[in-house]
Structure 1
Amino acid sequence: ASDGKASCSGVVLEDGSEINAKVGVVSNVPLWNMARILQDSVDPAAESPVNDAVAVVQEQADGMYMTGSFMHLHLGIPKDGLPDDMECHHSVLNMDLDVRDEQNMVIISIPTVFDPSLAPEGYHVVHAYTAAADSFDDWLQYLDSEKDSGRVGFDPNSSKASQYARQDGYKELKEGKAEVLWNAVEKVIPDVRQRAKRKGAIAMIGTPLTHRRYNQRYRGTYGPGPAPGEAIWKLNGARTPINGLLACGDTTFPGIGLPGVAASGTIAANTLVGVRTQRRLMRELKRLDALQ
């Protein structure tokens, strides 16, 4: 704390080494995870401006509407006999249902349609996934605790990170939840299951726990979204309740997606420097033909 206000002066790395920040720290950690990291860094029994600020971050995280998670199907299949003019992108859904209903919308991508070098000669790569429409609640039983706390920072390839996959019932639930993906791909490639069993083929199923594990995503979420009945996202900007700690990424304005995340990083950077510095940098970028 400084002058009665919570402030950030640097970061402590996993090996214990410290990096001091002269201007500030920019974090792209999702707000749900940031709240947990900050909680682990303070003494909850102490009364201080830092604890008060951390409580505000937690309140902001709790109030943010969270989209669902994903089931994934990754395939490498022989492409003999398939049309040469096959489309790359497909959406399969029941138009009588809301697009946000659980497992209603499946997105299919076949990137080797555009770039055959992405797979061995004679094969297609296929990725099918439910569009942020899988409930994480079905998978909580396979975590150590009853509630996902946001602590997901294990090495994704470690035994500890993957222990859920060895629990009773997980494989059966995974295969059952993946049926909607297989059924959707069959509408594009009717014999896909047979192709996936042929020599050289590969089929991998990912669950919301897989998505959480490899993407370090709290509850395996896609990210924030407008709450039901609302047309706009209510997202915080770059500034946090802690002086010197700025946020960027998809849980800050303007939100999810690559353009939004890139813009949030720009906003955070602009927040750290004055107008004169920004103009000087823009002149330099124009001189280098990097800015139109």
Structure 2
Amino acid sequence: MAYSSDIIVIGSGIGGLTAAALLQERGFSTLTFEKNSYPGGSCAAFKHKGYTFDAGASVFYGFGEDKSSGTLNMHTRIFRKLGIDVPVISDPVQIHFHMPDGFDIPAYYEKEKFLGTLMERFPNEKEGIVAFYKELGSVHDILSSLPPGSLEDPIHILNVGSRHLGKILSLALKTFQSMGKSARKYIKDEELLKFIDMEAYSWAVQDAVSTPLVNAGICLADRHHGGINYPVGGAGVIPAALCDGIKKFGGAVEFGCDVEEILLRNGRAIGVRLSNGDVHTAKAVISNATVWDTFNRLVKDARYNVSETKFLRAPSWFQLYLGVDAGVIPEGFHMHHILVDDWARYNEPGGTIYFSAPSVLDPTVAPEGKHVVHAFVTDEVDHWKTYQRGEEKYKQAKERYGASVIRRTEKILPGLSDAVEVKIFATPFTHERYLNRYKGSYGPLLYPGQNVLLKPQNRTVVKDLYAVGDSTFPGQGVIAVTYSGVSCASYIARKLGNPLSYL
């Protein structure tokens, strides 16, 4: 059979681009199809009236320079392998949390400074604070020494296990633990435990009890090692650099190409059909779509359908992209913030405000004398089901809801309403339409108490069809989906006879 390429990738999310770039560099031919005119999926950026807005993600791990780090500084290692330079700016604070009853704490890059601030508010929990964050650090220490690869590849498991058996066994035990239950072993103060819930909710949109300890060890320990870094020019620089890497080694990323169907023959994936009718074939197909979009929309055989209830479905978002007068942002204002008005509803739709101002670190993303503001809250498509996209009532509803979020944000930025000069609002409908994501969801989550290894890996029930992105292990977040891309590329490369070298 004559193939269009060795591997076809559906969607230019970070997981798919990472897999394509590493496979292309290794000598495999890759062809990536993206429905939009720009790459990145939820980690994209767009320009409007002189502003560069991050479409979604803006907190980035993985750019550390520690050469002994294995799993965690993957962006640095990947771009070094591709020979691509991605300049970044170090952020001294991961997130500045603003919570009820005056509980206000920045999560500093400097670990001792962060822990000291917590101890100052909770002097009776000093020992518990040290012990809990030490446990997160122990997860980081294990992961940072293990090279990334596929957990489905027995050769990789054998290689890593023979060199790091003790660490592998320790990590295996930790996969049965949750972040919240671990915290409760050491800490009793309810307000502090609520903050730890917010530490989890900030990226996992689940409380700490529902969040695997291993995931927490990646995000909440690495901020004190590799740190948080912002790419110069905005979030879209990361997928653009991956595309450059793919093209550098002879691969192709085709924009404006919407995949309509994954083609199957005798139970295996053989290629894709685009919405324009074009057919492309490959030895392997990688889907960057959610598990529901992959098997309920792209794979037409109903025998492979995946019930929505197989996983918890993470919410979608209502997002505000604002261009504001620079005078509203005070000197020393941090880039990332989370605002909780009421503990009783922090995990309800709209209950927590996520907020970033990238231009305080990188002035290039806003015109002179202006700042970029990106605010968002969890939301659901059901909230908007009575409206039709484009109708006046829909526009008015977006304006009202956006104005309410701006007013709430004035708790940390007084005068924001009067400083807004440019505004764009995006509902779950927007996410569903632009990202081809089922109900605009942030992706599938494990049920509380499930082992993190129960998250789907890269192989699927369809032979030669693979998955990357937040539907696969380890889950949500840019560094997590990057891992899924590395893992997938590693597995496919070995299967096709030319294994990747470790990063």
TM-score interval for Structure 1 and Structure 2 normalised by the shorter chain: 0.7 to 0.9
Q: Report the structure, 1 or 2, having the larger strand content.
A: 2
**Residue 14 of structure 2 aligns with which residue?**
none
The total of aligned residue pairs comes to: 238
Query: Does residue 259 of the first structure (1) align with residue 479 of the second (2)?
Result: yes
**Residue 118 of structure 1 aligns with which residue?**
365
SS of residue matched to 2:320: strand
Given the alignment, which residue of 291, 301, 314 partners 1:31? 291
Query: Does residue 71 of the first structure (1) align with residue 295 of the second (2)?
Result: no
CA distance in 1, matches of 2:345, 2:449: 15
The one-letter code matched in structure 1 to 2:382 is D
Counterpart mapping for 1:209-220 below 5 A: 209-220=429-440
Q: 1:90 to 1:209 in 2, by over 3 A?
A: same
Query: Does residue 9 of the first structure (1) align with residue 270 of the second (2)?
Result: yes
**Residue 109 of structure 2 aligns with which residue?**
none
Q: State the Cα distance separating 1:98 from its structure 2 match.
A: 4.7
Q: 1:247 to 1:55 in 2, by over 3 A?
A: same
Given the alignment, which residue of 181, 203, 209 partners 2:405? 181
SS of residue matched to 1:237: coil
Whether the 8 Å contact between 1:24 and 1:246 is mirrored in structure 2 is yes
Q: 1:258 to 1:116 in 2, by over 3 A?
A: same
Whether the 8 Å contact between 2:357 and 2:373 is mirrored in structure 1 is yes
SS of residue matched to 2:476: coil
CA distance in 2, matches of 1:175, 1:232: 42
**Residue 166 of structure 1 aligns with which residue?**
390
CA distance in 2, matches of 1:17, 1:166: 30
Q: State the Cα distance separating 1:188 from its structure 2 match.
A: 2.2
Compute the TM-score of the two structures, normalised by the length of structure 1: 0.73
1:70-101 deviation digits (Å, cap 9, x = unpaired) = 11111111113642222212111135225312
SS of residue matched to 2:414: coil
- Unpaired stretches in structure 1, ≥5 consecutive residues: 42-50, 143-163, 286-290
- Unpaired stretches in structure 2, ≥5 consecutive residues: 1-263
Q: State the Cα distance separating 1:28 from its structure 2 match.
A: 1.2
Q: State the Cα distance separating 1:61 from its structure 2 match.
A: 5.0
**Residue 125 of structure 2 aligns with which residue?**
none
Compute the TM-score of the two structures, normalised by the length of structure 2: 0.44
Whether the 8 Å contact between 1:32 and 1:62 is mirrored in structure 2 is no
SS of residue matched to 2:386: helix
Regions of 4+ moved over 6 Å? none
CA distance in 2, matches of 1:64, 1:17: 33
Counterpart mapping for 1:1-292 below 5 A: 5-21=266-282, 23-39=283-299, 41=300, 51=301, 54-56=302-304, 58-59=305-306, 61-80=308-327, 82-130=329-377, 133-142=378-387, 164-167=388-391, 169-196=393-420, 201-227=421-447, 229-230=448-449, 232=451, 234-274=454-494, 277-278=498-499, 281-282=500-501, 291=503
CA distance in 1, matches of 2:328, 2:435: 35
Q: Report the structure, 1 or 2, having the larger helix content.
A: 2
SS of residue matched to 2:405: helix
Q: State the Cα distance separating 1:231 from its structure 2 match.
A: 5.8
**Residue 145 of structure 1 aligns with which residue?**
none
CA distance in 2, matches of 1:237, 1:75: 37
SS of residue matched to 1:127: strand
SS of residue matched to 2:379: coil
SS of residue matched to 1:20: strand
SS of residue matched to 2:355: strand
SS of residue matched to 2:459: coil
**Residue 151 of structure 1 aligns with which residue?**
none
